[in-house]
Amino acid sequence: MRPLRIGVIGSWSGPYAGGGRQFDAGMAVWLADHKQQIAGRPVELLRRDVPGSAPEQARRQAQDLIESERVDLLTGLDFSSNAYAVGTVATQARVPTVIMNAASSGITGRSPFMVRVSFTIPQVTAPLARWALQQGLRDVCTVVADYASGVDAESAFVSGITAGGGRVGAMLRVPLNTLDYSAYMLRLRELKPQAVFFFLPSGQMPAIFLKFWRDRGMADTGIRLLATGDATDDHYLDGIGELAEGLVTSHHYSYAHESPANRRFAGAFETEYGSHLRPGYFAVAAHDALAAIDAALSAPGVRGGKAGAERLVDAFRGLRLDSPRGPVEIDAHTRDVVQSVYIRRVERRDARWINREFECTARVRDAGVA
């Protein structure tokens, strides 16, 4: 039987290489549990390294995977800019593409061949704005990385706060890979809002920001700090440690999520990789991407691989999964993910740092698209 050839585009080098390793680990755990097959077919994963945000390079790699390698599907895609570029290629070539991470709103709307199993920034940010208002935090400022997802986060949080009658004193944008937050800390100290919401991509940036927050004595001002779960990605959380203690975040997956599906997933992950590497939201999305592809290819009228690309994409619509993160479905109209979003707090448990979930909003859709 001809193998199912899947092109995977992500970061395996540079400052975001941890994302590529998480993609690999999540896929490996799913494949190990399914005899290395998807819908009864052996699988070939063809990886292409596109470090960070590099849309032109992502476009070229997608084109090569389609034209030279004749892949059946594309997946991966950590940065939204790369996903937009690949979406154009996927549309022209009519190749189904399953997004494992890229989280800017509207990506699936730009290509009829794209499906998302990860999350969107507005989807996980809007519930945090509502929670902040419930806590009486009505005077806020924002600090976000100046790129598509950062702007999405800023817009979602600000919209949520102002719709609830709150006030936004300042919206500060910082260049990607900023290393010095001194000026921003000074500005926030002058404004002294009740809370600061920040969004920075997973990796070193949140740790640097949190260190400046601590070293500049910002916690002593009484300002509450809030963020999306990108800041406390489980993959990096042990390294961030006490810098993030008590930080309240909102996201769709925590390593500490209490469910049988997550216990199986985390247990298999630890058996394969040891306790030094634990699954983050990149890994669970990679796991779920293969689960979704398997379910779609196993659907009536698709099984056997004879169906066209449009029929395969249609098989994703309305799909439901029992994911390690909780119930997940693909919206039949938008092909975007619908899922639970959790409010969490960073705590220490059994000598490890975790994101402990304490509040849940079920069946959340992308808040950034009408």
CATH of the domain at 311: 3.40.50.2300
Q: Taking residues 157-175, what's their average pLDDT? A: 98
Q: What is the C-alpha to C-alpha distance for residues 162 and 155, in angstroms, rounded to an integer?
A: 10
Q: Taking residues 268-286, what's their average pLDDT? A: 91
> What tokens appear for 341 in the block?
């979003």
To which residue do tokens 């849940």 refer?
360
To which residue do tokens 């999306």 refer?
228
Q: What is the C-alpha to C-alpha distance for residues 50 and 142, in angstroms, rounded to an integer?
A: 30
Q: Taking residues 295-307, what's their average pLDDT? A: 80
User: Hey, is 94 helix, strand or coil?
Assistant: coil
Q: Tell me, yes or no, whether 370 lies in a domain.
A: no
DSSP string, 34-64: TTTEETTEEEEEEEEE--SS-HHHHHHHHHH
Q: Tell me, yes or no, whether 130 lies in a domain.
A: yes
Whole-number pLDDT of residue 122 = 96
User: Hey, is 140 helix, strand or coil?
Assistant: strand
The continuous run of DSSP H or E covering 75 comes out as: strand 73-76
pLDDT band at residue 63, thresholds of 50, 70 and 90? very high
Same domain, 128 and 244: yes
Same domain, 350 and 246: yes
pLDDT band at residue 260, thresholds of 50, 70 and 90? very high
Same domain, 67 and 203: no
Q: What is the mean pLDDT of the chain?
A: 95
pLDDT band at residue 276, thresholds of 50, 70 and 90? confident
Same domain, 234 and 203: yes
Q: What is the C-alpha to C-alpha distance for residues 48 and 71, in angstroms, rounded to an integer?
A: 12
Same domain, 302 and 326: yes
pLDDT band at residue 277, thresholds of 50, 70 and 90? confident
pLDDT for 328-339, tens place per residue? 999 999 999 999
**Distance of alpha carbon 366 from the chain centroid:** 13
**Could you give the number of structural domains in the chain?**
2
Of 233, 201, 213, 208, nearest to 141 by C-alpha is 213
Q: Tell me, yes or no, whether 114 lies in a domain.
A: yes
Q: Tell me, yes or no, whether 247 lies in a domain.
A: yes
Same domain, 286 and 198: no
pLDDT band at residue 146, thresholds of 50, 70 and 90? very high
**Whether pLDDT at 369 is above 80:** no
**Whether pLDDT at 180 is above 60:** yes
Same domain, 98 and 55: yes
**Whether pLDDT at 368 is above 80:** no
15-24, 29-38, 246-255: which range is least confident on average?
15-24
Q: Taking residues 313-323, what's their average pLDDT? A: 97
Whole-number pLDDT of residue 202 = 87
Whole-number pLDDT of residue 1 = 78
Q: How far is CA 156 from CA 20, 40, 212, 216, 228, in A?
A: 27, 42, 25, 28, 11
Whole-number pLDDT of residue 307 = 64
φ/ψ of residue 285, rounded to 5: -70, -40
Q: Tell me, yes or no, whether 86 lies in a domain.
A: yes
pLDDT band at residue 48, thresholds of 50, 70 and 90? very high
Of 258, 195, 264, 262, nearest to 223 by C-alpha is 195
Q: Taking residues 59-87, what's their average pLDDT? A: 97
**Whether pLDDT at 306 is above 60:** no
Whole-number pLDDT of residue 301 = 82
Q: Tell me, yes or no, whether 359 lies in a domain.
A: yes
Looking at residue 79, the DSSP 8-state letter turns out to be S
Same domain, 240 and 312: no
> What tokens appear for 35 in the block?
């005899």
Same domain, 284 and 298: yes
Q: Which long-range contacts (CB under 8 A, 24 or more apart) does 151-156 make?
A: 152/103, 152/104, 152/105, 152/120, 152/121, 152/122, 152/125, 152/368, 153/121, 153/122, 153/125, 153/197, 153/199, 153/228, 154/199, 155/122, 155/368, 156/121, 156/122, 156/125, 156/126, 156/129, 156/367, 156/368
Same domain, 182 and 241: yes
Same domain, 348 and 223: yes
Four-residue CA torsion sign, 306, 309, 315, 321: positive
Confirm if 211 and 177 have CB atoms less than 8 A apart. Answer: no
Q: Domain range holding 160?
A: 122-251+342-364
Whole-number pLDDT of residue 241 = 86
Same domain, 107 and 135: no
Q: Taking residues 172-190, what's their average pLDDT? A: 95
Whole-number pLDDT of residue 274 = 85
Encode 250-279: b = buried (16+ Cβ within 10 Å), e = exposed. bbbbbbbbeeebbeebbebbeeebeeebbb
Q: Taking residues 314-330, what's their average pLDDT? A: 98
β-strand partners of 339:
328, 364
Cα Rg of the chain (Å, integer): 20
**The overall pTM is greater than 0.85:** yes
Q: Taking residues 186-215, what's their average pLDDT? A: 95
Q: Tell me, yes or no, whether 112 lies in a domain.
A: yes
Q: Tell me, yes or no, whether 369 lies in a domain.
A: no
> What tokens appear for 53 in the block?
């945000």
